[in-house]
Amino acid sequence: MKKYTQINDIKNLQELIKEAILLKMNPYEYAHLGKHKTLVMLFFNASLRTRLSTEKAARNLGMNVSILNVNDAWNIEFEDGGIMNTNSTEHIKEAAKVISQYADVIAVRAFPSLTDKAKDQSEYVLRSFEKYATVPIINMESATAHPLQALTDAITISELADKPRPKVVLSWAPHPKALPQAVANSFVEMMQMMEVDFSITHPEGYELDEAITKNTPINHKQTEALKDADFVYVKNWSNFKDYGKILNQDPNWMMTEAKLGKAKFMHCLPVRRNVVVEDAVLDGDNSLVIKQANNRTFAAQVVLKHILEGL
Amino acid sequence: MKKYTQINDIKNLQELIKEAILLKMNPYEYAHLGKHKTLVMLFFNASLRTRLSTEKAARNLGMNVSILNVNDAWNIEFEDGGIMNTNSTEHIKEAAKVISQYADVIAVRAFPSLTDKAKDQSEYVLRSFEKYATVPIINMESATAHPLQALTDAITISELADKPRPKVVLSWAPHPKALPQAVANSFVEMMQMMEVDFSITHPEGYELDEAITKNTPINHKQTEALKDADFVYVKNWSNFKDYGKILNQDPNWMMTEAKLGKAKFMHCLPVRRNVVVEDAVLDGDNSLVIKQANNRTFAAQVVLKHILEGL
Amino acid sequence: MKKYTQINDIKNLQELIKEAILLKMNPYEYAHLGKHKTLVMLFFNASLRTRLSTEKAARNLGMNVSILNVNDAWNIEFEDGGIMNTNSTEHIKEAAKVISQYADVIAVRAFPSLTDKAKDQSEYVLRSFEKYATVPIINMESATAHPLQALTDAITISELADKPRPKVVLSWAPHPKALPQAVANSFVEMMQMMEVDFSITHPEGYELDEAITKNTPINHKQTEALKDADFVYVKNWSNFKDYGKILNQDPNWMMTEAKLGKAKFMHCLPVRRNVVVEDAVLDGDNSLVIKQANNRTFAAQVVLKHILEGL
């Protein structure tokens, strides 16, 4: 693996999932693979799970970890050819090349603005690191994708499915703040690669990028969509067409125990209780969110392992 | 030891102090005890000594350390059953369970508001971590207690006492800002467990929680209280009854060389010079503050050692 | 080496450079030298290169590293004898002595105010750490000096010079913000110690401290100064006489490919493109900035190695 910035960097998903599950059983088996190797984690945005699980994954492999909140340094310029006489102190061309000399792998988190659709869709932060860095890049959630989360979700579904082709539904939920489409996008792409019966339910007008959803079935009637589901992945996203807007906060879209039925409940966390999902679901036996979060470590670890092996 | 959130988690104080002193002489003796174990340190508030000494203690035991300033992530909700549609992004139920999967031990610092007495007294942050985390919790100073500091102080007094039952006085001092009662509370509880002649002196009306001071003698006349003292522990706290208020800034309560006499001077640091204590005391031979700070490492280390042995 | 706070802490520059180049070829040769040793890095100001390269250098030597943004703790008082009843919570006397107990080496970054010349020139932050700490101090850029950068630059010139006595020119450049003289000062001092034909070019009135420049030739005509140069080090600094002021932003002083000719371009980074230097230079074959940044690791590592050997 030369990098992990998007789902399709995965060559053989089934093999990768199997390997992650083996790492979970024996996390220190490759503790010498990362000797004298450094993971630099760069955060343009806040993090809890990704920060702690990726750090742990790297340490399980024997790596050194350096963590930098980019806001503790200074503004980085991503435009080419401009006269840098305002707020940006350093250009990504220098920053990415320089950090590559202190790192064997660079992991980056950079959320979208949700105000400038074209700029967000260009993934200029992540692509600039890919372009100018001279070491492999890992996406710790970018403007449009969260492939480590999607791998986590694939591992979790693989571990817990009790039938060959489970029914998986991605169900939109209300939220008081405008959130990215990144988690939903990567989950959709991942489910398209798996042996699952996958569909999406969301209010009319909340379509994700069609280039991602392709021919995945979309149902605007939540109850109908959830019927006989084995796994229900709940997630808010702000509007994609009317970009970054909150057009719907209808509490009827909140996930409840009644709607969920016997399905397993999944969410990437953090989750707002009684807005996105009611307490009874999170506190009930069908919630997988804590197991999902645990798999974050092994998703990151299997990716790091493959990248280290390819150095 | 299953956790260390309060003084009475200590089973055998004398043994623990002896062990800490042995660790100080041979800090790397148990350097393999923490192999592949992770301490996650969570700071809701600023720290210098606690941060550096606890990190060093964990490393002395061979542990990995992850440090997260919670403000670099997001607001955590502690109320149960509410609709999380305002400022909090994640509930402690998820946060504590999730972090427990990346940590073998979680250490938490969370100061009181000093505005809502009932809420502070409930120790809702610390208790929530204790309730929902699935790994041992260490208190790195909570709303009402600072048990690592108190253990440090017990070690320091044990090391330096030159008589079987030294006289120890806790003396209130003025301060321009409203400070918690946590250090004073834990020091009082610790002295009640030791073979010392212990008393407290503070201005009238500055009584600490009676549930903590119990029958410890209190004297409102500082000079009288300090007479023949062997150790004088100086500390400001804001008013407990008129909660969080500064009712007294009388500079006559500042500790001076003249008042201290031959006694040893103790303070947890940070200390405001010439407000809490005059320069001559801190710069004189009777000040133990630097030795106390050194013992922070070994107090944390002996606690971590016992917790690791109990995993 | 007992400390590295200024250029003249170097005993034998040529030996040190040779050793740094050897470390670059074999960075883990002394990986056991730092076992159970801790580097505490204290940042009063932002950092990217210094932070990551010094951390990597310490890890290459097997050290533990603790990093503290001092702003995450509280204000430290540097004045002696004052009544600390305003903004400062802890005096440097305590802070430096305490941290010395958790560290084997302390590295400090503290920029100048650029408003109070006498105070900046006194280097009160760095000198206070030197005075009160009980372990060696490394300067990670202070008010008036950046000796790790200067050592990096000396290594880079030594590696890449293709003649016995290359011509090196320090050329001032415009900048929209008032910047310290630190990098320029240390570069001047370093070049004075090397076998180079060294001169400085800057606009009239932009003289650096004469106690530092001594009899180094200064030419106010940039084109003339750059003639036949082998290495051109470009750097902005704010006015030293009219302290901290920006008296000149003349874009004609920006470095261009035309002016540079066949000389190698050097800069400490971060650099503002098309303000300090045009894109064509940074993107061209004569730019050494990425190589310089790589040498930051080995400058820090050779200094740490000598300090560890002297413990």
A235 annotated as a binding-site residue: yes
What percent of chain A clears pLDDT 70, i.e. is strictly above it?
100
For residue B58, what is the enclosing H or E element? helix B49-60
Q: Which two tokens stand for residue C168?
A: 């090196």
| Beta-bridge partners for A13 | none
A59 annotated as a binding-site residue: no
Regions of chain C short of the pLDDT cut 50: none
User: Is the CB of residue A88 less than 8 Å away from at least one CB of chain C?
Assistant: yes
CA distance A76 to A95: 8
Q: Which chain A residues touch B59 with a CB distance below 8 Å?
A: none
Same domain as B127, residue B11: yes
CB contact under 8 A, C90 and B56: no
Does residue A29 fall inside a structural domain? yes
User: Is the CB of residue C6 less than 8 Å away from at least one CB of chain A?
Assistant: no
A282 annotated as a binding-site residue: no
Same domain as B42, residue B139: yes
CB contact under 8 A, B269 and C81: no
* Chain A nearest C-alpha distance from C158 (Å): 20
* Chain B nearest C-alpha distance from A80 (Å): 30
CB contact under 8 A, C102 and B272: no
- Cβ-based neighbours of A187, under 8 Å, separated by 6 or more: A149, A150, A153, A170, A233, A235
B149 annotated as a binding-site residue: yes
pLDDT at B279 over 90: yes
B199-220: pLDDT as tens digits = 999 999 999 999 999 999 999 9
pLDDT at B71 over 90: no
Domain CATH for C137:
3.40.50.1370
Q: Provide the number of structural domains found in chain B.
A: 2
Does residue B1 fall inside a structural domain? no
User: How many other C-beta atoms are found inside a 10 Å radius of the C-beta of residue C64?
Assistant: 21
pLDDT at A167 over 90: yes
Same domain as C105, residue C26: yes
* Residue in C66, C83, C91 closest to B55 by CB: C66
Same domain as C124, residue C241: no
CB contact under 8 A, B273 and C83: yes
CB contact under 8 A, B274 and C74: no
Specify the pLDDT at position B306.
Answer: 98
CB contact under 8 A, A290 and B101: yes
User: Is the CB of residue A45 less than 8 Å away from at least one CB of chain B?
Assistant: no
CB contact under 8 A, A84 and C273: yes
What is chain B's alpha carbon radius of gyration, rounded to the nearest angstrom?
19
Does residue C243 fall inside a structural domain? yes
- Best of A40, A83, A99, A132 to disrupt the C interface (most C CBs within 10 Å) is A83
Same domain as C276, residue C244: yes
CA distance B53 to B301: 9
Same domain as B135, residue B151: no
* Chain A nearest C-alpha distance from B54 (Å): 18
Determine the residue of chain B that is closest to A282 in CA distance: B94
Specify the pLDDT at position C15.
Answer: 98
Order of strands across the sheet that contains B231-235: B218-219, B197-201, B167-172, B231-235, B264-266
- Best of A52, A253, A255 to disrupt the B interface (most B CBs within 10 Å) is A52
Domain residue limits at A267: 148-292
pLDDT at B72 over 90: no
Specify the pLDDT at position A72.
Answer: 83
- Best of C75, C89, C91, C98 to disrupt the B interface (most B CBs within 10 Å) is C98
pLDDT at A68 over 90: yes
Residue B73's pLDDT band (boundaries 50, 70, 90)? confident
Q: Which chain B residues touch A45 with a CB distance below 8 Å?
A: none
Same domain as A92, residue A152: no
pLDDT at A259 over 90: yes
Chains with 3 or more CB pairs closer than 8 angstroms to B?
A, C
In this structure, are residues B287 and B309 in contact, taking their beta carbons and an 8 Å threshold? no
CB contact under 8 A, C73 and B48: yes
Chains with 3 or more CB pairs closer than 8 angstroms to C?
A, B
* Letter string b/e over residues A76-107, b meaning 16 or more CB atoms within 10 A of that residue's CB: bbbeeebebbeebbbbbbbbbbbbbbbbbbbb
Same domain as A205, residue A83: no
A42 annotated as a binding-site residue: no
- For B9, what's the count of Cα atoms within 13 Å in the CB-facing half-sphere? 22
CA distance C210 to C244: 16
- Best of B28, B60, B177, B273 to disrupt the C interface (most C CBs within 10 Å) is B273
Q: Which chain B residues touch A141 with a CB distance below 8 Å?
A: none
Does residue A70 fall inside a structural domain? yes
In this structure, are residues A129 and A142 in contact, taking their beta carbons and an 8 Å threshold? no
- For A130, what's the count of Cα atoms within 13 Å in the CB-facing half-sphere? 16
B146 annotated as a binding-site residue: yes
pLDDT at A71 over 90: no
Specify the pLDDT at position C213.
Answer: 98
User: Is the CB of residue A73 less than 8 Å away from at least one CB of chain C?
Assistant: yes
Does residue A205 fall inside a structural domain? yes
In this structure, are residues B132 and B93 in contact, taking their beta carbons and an 8 Å threshold? yes
User: Is the CB of residue A293 less than 8 Å away from at least one CB of chain B?
Assistant: yes
A3-56: pLDDT as tens digits = 999 999 999 999 999 999 999 999 999 999 999 999 999 999 999 999 999 999
- Best of A38, A80, A91, A106 to disrupt the C interface (most C CBs within 10 Å) is A91
Determine the residue of chain A that is closest to C51 in CA distance: A68
* Residue in A84, A94, A102 closest to C297 by CB: A102
Residue A178's pLDDT band (boundaries 50, 70, 90)? very high
Specify the pLDDT at position A73.
Answer: 86
User: Is the CB of residue C82 less than 8 Å away from at least one CB of chain B?
Assistant: yes
Specify the pLDDT at position C241.
Answer: 98
Mean pLDDT for chain B?
97
B33-67: pLDDT as tens digits = 999 999 999 999 999 999 999 999 999 999 999 99
- Helix/strand/coil for B21: helix
Question: What is the 8-class DSSP label of residue B181?
Answer: S
User: Is the CB of residue B60 less than 8 Å away from at least one CB of chain C?
Assistant: yes
* Chain C nearest C-alpha distance from B52 (Å): 7
Q: Which chain A residues touch C69 with a CB distance below 8 Å?
A: 72
Q: Which chain C residues touch B282 with a CB distance below 8 Å?
A: 91, 93-94
Does residue A25 fall inside a structural domain? yes
Same domain as C151, residue C141: no
* Chain B nearest C-alpha distance from A81 (Å): 33
Does residue C267 fall inside a structural domain? yes
Same domain as C40, residue C128: yes
Same domain as B214, residue B136: no
A51 annotated as a binding-site residue: no
C296 annotated as a binding-site residue: yes
User: Is the CB of residue C74 less than 8 Å away from at least one CB of chain A?
Assistant: no
A74-114: pLDDT as tens digits = 899 999 999 999 999 999 999 999 999 999 999 999 999 99
B272 annotated as a binding-site residue: yes
Does residue A74 fall inside a structural domain? yes
A101-152: pLDDT as tens digits = 999 999 999 999 999 999 999 999 999 999 999 999 999 999 999 999 999 9
CB contact under 8 A, C88 and B272: yes
- Helix/strand/coil (H/E/C) assignment for every residue in chain C: CCCECCHHHCCCHHHHHHHHHHHHHCCCCCCCCCCCCEEEEEECCCCCHHHHHHHHHHHHCCCEEEEEEHHHCCCEECCCCCCCCCCCCEEHHHHHHHHHHHCCEEEEECCCCCCCHHHHHCCHHHHHHHHHCCCCEEECCCCCCCHHHHHHHHHHHHHHCCCCCCEEEEEECCCCCCCCCHHHHHHHHHHHHCCCEEEEECCCCCCCCHHHHCCCCEECCHHHHHCCCCEEEEECCCCCCCCCCCCCCCHHHCECHHHHCCCEEECCCCCCECCCECHHHHCCCCECHHHHHHHHHHHHHHHHHHHHHCC
Same domain as A50, residue A179: no
